[in-house]
Amino acid sequence: MSTTPISSSRRAARSVSRISSAWQQVAVVLFGALVLYAVGFLPMSAAHNAAHDTRHSFVFPCH
């Protein structure tokens, strides 16, 4: 059984794919945090109450 080494272009593509995936995950977390914190400042009491406990668990005051 013989194995062929992974070409440098394939290795580079995997590295770019991992970096892209990491940036996408960071973007999703930041967007989720933005939505969560922005909802807390909305005048709707239902939206505020939905985010209220989570905001306080992160020690983020909202009132």
pLDDT digits 0-9 by tens, 10-51: 666 666 677 788 899 999 999 988 887 877 777 777 766 767
**pLDDT at residue number 28:** 94
Q: What is the pLDDT of residue 52?
A: 75
Q: Please report where in the chains the tokens 């996408």 appear, as a residue.
A: 24
3-class SS of residue 63: coil
Predicted pLDDT at 30: 94
Report the pLDDT value the prediction gives residue 31, as an integer from 0 to 100: 93
What pLDDT score was predicted for residue 24?
92
Using a 10 angstrom Cβ sphere, with 0-12 exposed, 13-18 middle and 19 or more buried, the burial of residue 50 is: middle
